[in-house]
Amino acid sequence: MLHKRLSQFLIIYFLGLGLLLAVKYCFGLSDYVIPGFTDMQNTAQAVAAGYLRAVLDTLGVAVIGHVLAIALATVVAIVGRPDNLLGTMIKTAAYNLQAYPIVAVAPIIFILLGDGLPSRLLIAAIICYFPLLLSFIGILGEPVAGIEHFYVVTGRMRWQLEVKIRAFENIHKLITVVTGSATLAMVGTIVAEFIGADSGIGYSLRIALYQSDIAKVLVALFLIGVFNSLYLVALELLGLAVRKRMGVEQRTQQ
C-alpha cells in the first residue's frame, strides 16, 4: 500500500521535474527562471531541514483539522439524518454551503482570528468538512431496509442502532470518503498558510514565490507529496483495521 502510493507520487513528481528541465533546455531558459539540476540539489540540501519541520507542522494541523471535520460531520449528519424539519434544514444548508468556494472566506478568518494556529486549523477543517458532511448525510440518511425492518417492526430501533447499521453497511464508502478528504485537509492548511499564516509549508511556499525560487517550490512539493502519501496510507491502514475488526472482510470474500 505504502509502496504503491509513494511510487505513484514519485513517478508523477519526477515526470513533472523532467518536463520542467526539458522545457528549460529546449528553450534555453536561464537558471533564474528554471534552475538546473545541480542548483536544485544545492537548494534541497540548504532548505530540506527547515522545510521538513514546516511540512510536519502543516501535516499536524491538517490531521487535527481533518479529525475535527470528521467529528463535526458525523454529529451533524446524525442530527440531520431523519426526514424531519431539522434534517431537511441541515441538508439544504449543507448542499447550499458546499456550493460556495469556502476558501474565499479565509481572509475573514485571518482578520478575526489572526495568523496563528486557530486560523489554519479552522480553514483546514472547513475545506474538508462539507464534502465529508454531504457524503455522511447521504450514507446515514439512507435506510437499509433489509436490515432495519426487523428492528422497526419489533420496536427495537434506536438512533444508535440505526447509525450503526448504516455505517456498517457503507463502511467501504465511509473509509473512501475519509481518505479522500485527507488531501483536502492538507490543501486547506497549505492554502491557509499561503494566504496569511506565519508558519507551515504554505508560508514557506509564499516566501519562495516572492523570491521566484522554483527550486525551493520543488523541494516543498516533494516533501508535501511524500508526507501526504504517508498520511493517506496511514488512513487506509486504519480503515483496513476497522473493517477487519467489524468482520467486513469476511463479507467481501463471499
Which chain residues interact with other proteins by CB under 8 A?
Answer: 146-147, 149-150, 153-154, 156, 164-165, 168-169, 246-248, 250-251, 254
The answer to whether 235 and 186 have CB atoms below 8 angstroms apart is: no
In the complex, minimum distance from the CB of residue 18 to other proteins, in angstroms, rounded to a whole number: 48
Residue 76, Cβ neighbours under 10 Å: how many? 20
Find all residues with CB under 8 Å of 233, minimum gap 6, and list them.
1, 2, 5
Least Å from the CB of residue 254 to other proteins: 6
Question: What is the closest distance, in whole angstroms, from the C-beta atom of residue 153 to other proteins in the complex?
Answer: 6
* Cβ proximity to other proteins, 38 vs 254, nearer residue: 254
The grid cell for 22 is: 526539458
With a CB cutoff of 8 Å and minimum separation 6, the contacts of 139 are 77, 166, 167, 170, 173, 174
Tell me whether residue 3 or residue 156 sits nearer to other proteins (CB atom): 156
Identify the three-state secondary structure at position 187.
helix
Between 3 and 158, CB nearer to other proteins? 158
Pick the closer one to other proteins by CB: 62 or 165: 165
CB of 174 to other proteins, least distance (A): 14
Nearest to 44 by CA among 229, 252, 215: 215
d(C-alpha 144, C-alpha 34), whole Å? 56
* Pick 28 or 247: Cβ nearer other proteins: 247
Q: How far apart are CA 29 and CA 46, in angstroms?
A: 23
Nearer to other proteins, 42 or 250 (CB): 250
* Those residues with Cβ within 8 angstroms of residue 141's Cβ, 6 or more apart along the chain or in another chain: 77, 80, 81, 82, 83, 87, 91
Least distance (Å) from other proteins to the CB of residue 246? 5
Grid coordinates given for 127? 475545506
Report the phi/psi class of residue 29: left, alpha or beta, with left for phi > 0 and alpha for psi in -120 to 50.
beta
* CB nearer to other proteins: pick between 157 and 233: 157
CB of 202 to other proteins, least distance (A): 41
Closest approach, Cβ 201 to other proteins, in A, equals 41
Residue 65: name the closest of 126, 116, 106, 113 by CA.
Answer: 126
